[in-house]
């Protein structure tokens, strides 16, 4: 998240925003791995090297990076009056997270119609609907 993107958000709101985005990504990666939709070796190698192989390692690495990168928000750093502290990750981790998001959109987040399983499920729902005269969709 860039300094411009946080606008007038409080530090608490910034924490919620970045935590939410990172938690979704971490859990989606975990879900993709658990479902065997992707394999660990499919993930970008830079991400695995920087964040680790296990879910707990990835979450810990990201949390530590955000804390270290945002330390000026702790109140332990003297800031000039015109400098507004903001919650962020390092530029290096930001690039890794961006690369992971791109990877997930290319390999995991795709329209239901793009997969054979999705087309089969849609066909079954359609057949069920067409064969059940009392069923109405809202």
Single pTM value for the model:
0.74
The phi and psi torsions of 135 (rounded to 5 degrees) equal -85, 125
Q: Which two tokens stand for residue 23?
A: 């938690």
Q: What is the pLDDT of residue 138?
A: 56
Q: pLDDT (tens digit, 0 to 9) for every residue of the chain, 138 residues total? A: 666 777 788 999 999 999 999 999 999 999 999 999 999 999 999 999 999 999 999 999 999 999 999 998 887 777 776 667 889 999 999 999 999 999 999 988 876 666 777 778 778 877 776 776 565 555
Burial annotation 30-56 (CB, 10 A radius, 16+ → b, else e)? eebbeeeebeeeebeeebbebbeeeee
Count the Cβ atoms, other than its own, within 10 Å of residue 104.
18
């Amino acid at each position: 998240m860039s300094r411009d993107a946080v606008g007038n958000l409080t530090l608490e709101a910034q924490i919620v925003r970045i935590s939410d985005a990172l938690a979704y990504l971490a859990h989606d990666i975990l879900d993709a791995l658990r479902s065997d939709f992707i394999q660990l070796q499919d993930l970008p190698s830079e991400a695995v090297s920087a964040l680790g192989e296990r879910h707990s390692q990835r979450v810990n690495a990201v949390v530590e990076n955000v804390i270290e990168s945002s330390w000026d928000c702790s109140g332990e750093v003297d800031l000039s009056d015109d400098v507004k502290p903001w919650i962020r990750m390092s530029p290096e981790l930001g690039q890794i997270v961006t690369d992971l998001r791109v990877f997930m959109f290319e390999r995991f987040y795709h329209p239901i119609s793009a997969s054979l399983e999705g087309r089969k499920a849609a066909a079954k729902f359609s057949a069920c609907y067409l064969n059940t005269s009392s069923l109405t969709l809202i």
